[in-house]
Amino acid sequence: MYTQGLDQQGKTENRRDSLETPERLEAFQARIDAEEKIEAKDWMPEAYRRTLIRQISQHAHSEIIGMQPEGNWLTRAPSLKRKAILLAKVQDEAGHGLYLYGAAETLGISRDRMVADLLSGKAKYSSIFNYPTLNWADIGAIGWLVDGAAIMNQIPLCRCSYGPYARAMVRICKEESFHQRQGFEIMHVMANGSEDQKAMAQDALNRWWWPSLMMFGPSDKDSKHSAQSMAWKIKRFSNDELRQKFVDVTVPQADFLGLTVPDPDLRFDETSGHYCYGEIDWQEFHDVIAGNGPCNRQRMETRRRAQDDGAWVREAARAYAAKHAAKAA
Amino acid sequence: MTNQEWPLYEVFIRTRSGLSHRHAGSVHAPDDQMALDHARDTYTRRNEGVSIWVVRSDRIVASDPAESSALFEPAEDKIYRHPTFYEIPEGVENL
Ligand SMILES: [Fe+2]
Ligand SMILES: [Fe+2]
């Protein structure tokens, strides 16, 4: 009922209905305020549709590109058990990408268009996946911190006003908990292992801590999309609120592991009940977003190669389907 | 990228026998069989289902939300279709 049907409907609707009259905008906001879900074929303001397409497709691209740093360790996992777990996790991330592409398609953008925008560099993905995975403990740190930060971000999205996105997020959140726990377990084993293993765990935390904090996006005073997204109930919490929650739950976990969070300014504030943390290096954040992180080029090259190398498979499958359809007719 | 994409299928999953199939999401596939395979890989990695239906999205006929009041409002004033509409005298049981 989704892309194709919607495209056609869009055409008639554009003539009849696309006018964003004050009444229509008000009625739309009233539905949102009443916590009603918006569904694919419902009337919605163009800006709401565009915001969702941008956010959901970026999210999908992040899941897809996010397979690469972990995929790097699939053939070198330290045991068969860890290899099976990592394979399952990476496969889940592919699944997350697919759920999300599906949700974005309900808004009338095609899968091909989204993939083309990713490969051309027009569409963005999360900055975190442009960092390298240098030692096995990085796989632990990613599960614990990166999936942990993703969970913080994603749980409120389960209540997003757009139904198909919210439903995809419910499915994703159910799977993320395994990702985070397997990562924490790796860290725990290494932090309690030999001196060398403990040093690897600390090294991974040192490198992944700040990029994980950056996953929540620019600070509230610099966040250009936030206010409207909050009013539309696409977002429920601000970037800084979510970042604070993440720091508050994660620091005690690092303490438990006996590892040190690489932030000399970090301290617990008794009055607020929160951890205060040091200034984030926003220059680094903007550099990575702009394409100049340690692995941006490599990630895009790998993705493009996968797309090109798979072209004959997609073509063959289409030819096979056409042949059998012809035979059946 | 210019080659046309595989058609879209909607996926419905029966989570347990005794329950009806429920919409889970969608997949792209070149034909029906591969749509089933993709649906299995995408939506049932943790025993979420015992049966899958897939149907080409463009074959689904759906009501138009813009017409939902014309379609569904007529039922709203027919409260006599509900058992609570009827007054039963005190003392009558099993009714
Ligand atoms: Fe994910
Ligand atoms: Fe994950």
Mutate to test the interface with B, among A4, A14, A56, A176 (most CBs of B within 10 A): A4
CA–CA dist A89, B51 (Å, integer): 24
Q: Do B31 and A99 touch (CB under 8 A)?
A: no
B57 falls within a domain: yes
Sheet with B22-28, strands from edge to edge, namely B22-28, B8-14, B51-56
Q: Do B57 and A325 touch (CB under 8 A)?
A: no
CA–CA dist A306, A231 (Å, integer): 39
Each residue's pLDDT expressed in tens, for chain A with a length of 329 residues? 333 333 444 444 444 456 899 999 999 999 999 999 999 999 999 999 999 999 999 999 999 999 999 999 999 999 999 999 999 999 999 999 999 999 999 999 999 999 999 999 999 999 999 999 999 999 999 999 999 999 999 999 999 999 999 999 999 999 999 999 999 999 999 999 999 999 999 999 999 999 999 999 999 888 877 889 999 999 999 999 999 999 999 999 999 999 999 999 999 999 999 999 999 999 999 999 999 999 999 999 999 999 999 999 999 999 999 999 999 88
- Residues of chain B with Cβ-Cβ distance to A324 below 8 Å are 31
Q: Do B31 and A317 touch (CB under 8 A)?
A: yes
Q: Do B25 and A102 touch (CB under 8 A)?
A: yes
- Residues of chain B with Cβ-Cβ distance to A311 below 8 Å are 3
B3 falls within a domain: no
Which residues 69-88 in chain B show a CB within 8 A of chain A? none
B22 reaches A (C-beta below 8 A)? no
What ipTM is given for this predicted complex? 0.88
> Any residues with CB less than 8 A from the CB of B61 and at least 6 apart, and which?
none
Neighbours of ion ligand 2 (CB under 5 A): A 147, 176, 179
B51 falls within a domain: yes
The structural domain count of chain B equals 1
> Any residues with CB less than 8 A from the CB of B94 and at least 6 apart, and which?
none
- Closest chain A C-alpha to B72 CA, distance in angstroms: 15
Give the Å distances, CA to CA, from B61 to A4, A36, A40, A289: 12, 24, 14, 42
Instruction: Encode burial over A270-289: b for 16+ CB neighbours within 10 A, e otherwise.
Output: eeeeebebeebeeeebeebb
Position A12 scores a pLDDT of: 42
**Domain harbouring B48, CATH code:** 3.10.20.520
- The domain of B52 spans 8-81
B40 falls within a domain: yes
Question: Using one digit for the tens of pLDDT, what is the confidence trace for B17-65?
Answer: 999 999 999 999 999 999 999 999 999 999 999 999 999 999 999 998 8
B22 falls within a domain: yes
A34 reaches B (C-beta below 8 A)? no
B87 falls within a domain: no
The pTM score is 0.92
Question: Using one digit for the tens of pLDDT, what is the confidence trace for A111-168?
Answer: 999 999 999 999 999 999 999 999 999 999 999 999 999 999 999 999 999 999 999 9
B24 falls within a domain: yes
B91 falls within a domain: no
